[in-house]
């Protein structure tokens, strides 16, 4: 009998985490985060990570991350300077699913990182290609149009499915293409059915009108700035996380890190007014 897996999908600020928590209460479940930034320690406010229940032990494993008494998996499993791949995520997520299932609970996978969800749901095994810092630095100087053209030259098939305006995705695809001479086909990611999946899957997609979603995102950004997002970025910079690396965690981190540098430390940035 396959382990049951409930998956909650949706765009940013659509309410995935809130719904996941409510469903864990109703169906005796535990949450598995599918967020590519929340895996990192110290990226809390800017990623909207649920706060951890107070504890005296700061060296807990992912299985010990509780929020309102509900266990959350795959939060704080890597340092911000670590290289954490989709393959790393899939390995830990599969382990978490089977751990939850053995406890006769329902694993609930929730998050907005499509590659993470895809790797688990469709049982896609991503290629193990380590980051090439020199290549990434070179590619970072190029526009998205130039990056897309380079990927299309290396692997036209992958170029048809990649997010053309996402420089991080383009650079990673080029990195893999150069290492493996091609980017593995993603056809496996969209099977006709899930009969070959290791899990019995139910997926719930949340739809929110774009106007409402825009309001939610705007309110969320303001709230995070008031709650100390700038201080969070300052702390990460002080720990040795470079502005270039912070930029990989999303537009907000990139803008704040840049503003801190230009402001000579970031004091009084983004005041409540």
Q: List, as one string, the DSSP characters of 108-158.
A: EEE-S-HHHHHHHHTT---------HHHHHHHTTS-HHHHHHHHHHH-HHH
Indicate the SS3 state at residue 263: helix
Examine the domain organization and report whether 112 and 172 are in the same domain.
no
Nearest-angstrom CA–CA distance, 215 and 223:
12
Is residue 272 one of the residues assigned to a domain?
A: no
Using a pLDDT cut of 90, give the percent of the chain over it: 52
Q: Residue 65, by phi and psi: left (phi above 0), alpha (psi -120 to 50) or beta?
A: beta
Could you give the number of structural domains in the chain? 3
Q: Quote the pLDDT of residue 191.
A: 45
Examine the domain organization and report whether 110 and 142 are in the same domain.
no
Examine the domain organization and report whether 55 and 141 are in the same domain.
no
CATH number for the domain harbouring residue 16: 3.40.50.300
Is residue 267 one of the residues assigned to a domain?
A: no
Is residue 51 one of the residues assigned to a domain?
A: yes
Q: Quote the pLDDT of residue 146.
A: 93
The residues, any chain, with a CB within 8 Å of residue 124's CB and separated by 6 or more, are 90, 118, 186, 188, 189
Examine the domain organization and report whether 112 and 200 are in the same domain.
yes
Examine the domain organization and report whether 98 and 229 are in the same domain.
no
Is residue 142 one of the residues assigned to a domain?
A: yes
Task: Return the closest-CA partner of residue 16 out of 215, 228, 213.
Answer: 213
Residue 191: how many other CB atoms lie within 10 Å: 13
Cα-Cα-Cα-Cα torsion 96, 102, 104, 105, nearest 10 degrees, comes to: 0
| Helix, strand counts (H, E) of the chain | 11, 6
Q: Quote the pLDDT of residue 195.
A: 66
Is residue 12 one of the residues assigned to a domain?
A: yes
Examine the domain organization and report whether 196 and 218 are in the same domain.
no
How confident is the model over 50-83, as pLDDT tens digits? Answer: 998 876 555 545 457 998 889 999 999 999 988 8
Is residue 244 one of the residues assigned to a domain?
A: yes
Q: Quote the pLDDT of residue 227.
A: 95
The residues, any chain, with a CB within 8 Å of residue 18's CB and separated by 6 or more, are none
- Which helix (H) or strand (E) covers residue 224, if one does? helix 210-226
Examine the domain organization and report whether 159 and 196 are in the same domain.
no
Nearest-angstrom CA–CA distance, 48 and 38:
8
Examine the domain organization and report whether 122 and 139 are in the same domain.
no
Cβ atoms of 52 and 66 closer than 8 Å:
yes
Exposed e or buried b per residue across 129-157, where buried means at least 16 C-beta atoms within 10 angstroms of its C-beta: beebeeebeebeebeeeebbebbeebbee
Examine the domain organization and report whether 202 and 216 are in the same domain.
no
Q: Quote the pLDDT of residue 192.
A: 42
Using a pLDDT cut of 70, give the percent of the chain over it: 87
What average pLDDT does the structure give for the chain?
A: 85
Examine the domain organization and report whether 230 and 258 are in the same domain.
yes
Q: Quote the pLDDT of residue 273.
A: 41
Residue whose structure tokens are 């006709």:
192
Q: Quote the pLDDT of residue 97.
A: 96
- Which helix (H) or strand (E) covers residue 232, if one does? helix 229-238
Which range of residues forms the domain containing residue 230? 211-262
CA-angle at 39, arms to 72 and 77, nearest 5°: 80
Cβ atoms of 107 and 24 closer than 8 Å:
no
Examine the domain organization and report whether 85 and 139 are in the same domain.
no
Nearest-angstrom CA–CA distance, 33 and 107:
10
Q: Quote the pLDDT of residue 130.
A: 82
Query: In tens digits, what is the pLDDT along the chain, a chain of 273 residues?
Result: 889 999 999 888 888 999 999 999 999 999 999 999 999 999 999 999 999 887 655 554 545 799 888 999 999 999 998 888 888 999 999 999 999 999 999 999 999 888 899 889 988 776 778 888 899 889 988 998 999 999 999 988 888 878 787 787 788 889 988 988 755 554 443 444 556 688 999 999 998 899 998 999 999 999 999 999 999 999 999 999 988 888 888 889 989 999 998 877 555 555 544
Examine the domain organization and report whether 120 and 139 are in the same domain.
no
């Amino acid at each position: 009998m396959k382990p049951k897996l409930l998956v909650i999908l949706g765009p940013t600020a659509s309410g995935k985490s809130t719904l996941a928590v409510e469903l864990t209460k109703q169906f005796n479940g535990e949450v598995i985060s599918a967020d590519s930034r929340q895996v990192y320690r110290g990226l809390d406010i800017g990623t909207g990570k649920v706060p951890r229940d107070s504890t005296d032990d700061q060296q807990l494993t992912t299985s010990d991350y509780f929020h309102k008494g509900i266990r959350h998996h795959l939060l704080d499993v890597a340092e911000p300077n670590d290289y954490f791949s989709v393959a790393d995520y899939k390995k830990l997520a599969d382990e978490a699913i089977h751990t939850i299932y053995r406890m006769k609970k329902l694993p609930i996978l929730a998050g907005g990182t499509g590659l993470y969800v895809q790797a688990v749901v469709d049982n896609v095994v991503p290629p193990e290609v380590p980051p090439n810092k020199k290549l990434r630095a070179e590619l970072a100087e190029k526009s998205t149009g130039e990056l897309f053209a380079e990927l299309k030259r290396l692997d036209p098939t992958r170029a048809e499915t990649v997010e053309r305006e996402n420089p991080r995705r383009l650079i990673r695809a080029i990195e893999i293409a150069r290492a493996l001479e091609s980017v593995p086909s993603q056809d496996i990611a969209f099977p006709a059915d899930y009969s070959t999946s290791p899990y019995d899957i139910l997926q719930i997609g949340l739809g929110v009108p774009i106007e409402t979603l825009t309001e939610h995102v705007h309110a969320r950004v303001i709230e995070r700035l008031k709650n100390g997002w700038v201080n969070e970025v300052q702390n990460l910079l002080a720990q040795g996380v470079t502005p270039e690396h912070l930029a990989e965690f999303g537009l907000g981190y990139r803008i704040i890190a840049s503003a801190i540098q230009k402001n000579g430390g970031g004091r009084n940035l983004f005041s409540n007014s």
